[in-house]
Structure 1
């Protein structure tokens, strides 16, 4: 569960959070959900669903193939 973006940042707080993470380490940040799904599938996971959570978070469900 966490902060993911579907296209662009959905709220100013998500953008601020992303900037804060990247200021600590350029490799960190809010990830694009489609990119996360693509990497997971390459690693043998099957995308199942996205569950909307409180505070603009998403829970992304995968199953191991």
Structure 2
């Protein structure tokens, strides 16, 4: 489980998280991510767009990530996105399963 990490870390940290999960999870093991995400380059709320801009202003390597990009990284690490669950405050829960 990773809560509110992906957007407040450089992209390399996300790559490392997925690579580590791919190595360490057993077959059918889960990687669960919670936080704000974009879908197809679009924010799900104006507040998330403002939050993304504030993060990138503070550190250009931070920012709200797109689910499609995370799916690609997951696939490369042997993880498939199985479920996307809408959560309160414009956040989402992403559930990846190791193959």
TM-score, with length taken from structure 1: 0.89
**Number of residues of Structure 1 aligned to a counterpart in Structure 2:** 65
What secondary structure does 1:58 align onto?
strand
What secondary structure does 1:55 align onto?
helix
- Separation in 1, partners of 2:91, 2:47: 12
- Separation in 1, partners of 2:39, 2:52: 14
Which runs of 5 or more structure 1 residues have no equivalent in the other structure? Answer: none
The C-alpha deviation readout for 1:2-48, integer Å capped at 9, x for no partner, is 10011312222101110111112111101111111111111111211
Name the counterpart of 1:35. Answer: 69
- Separation in 2, partners of 1:43, 1:27: 22
Structure with a larger share of its residues in helix: 2
- Separation in 1, partners of 2:78, 2:55: 28
Name the counterpart of 1:47. Answer: 81
What secondary structure does 2:89 align onto?
coil
Which runs of 5 or more structure 2 residues have no equivalent in the other structure? Answer: 1-33
RMSD of aligned residue pairs (Cα, Å): 1.0
Name the counterpart of 2:54. Answer: 20
- Separation in 1, partners of 2:93, 2:61: 21
Name the counterpart of 1:4. Answer: 37
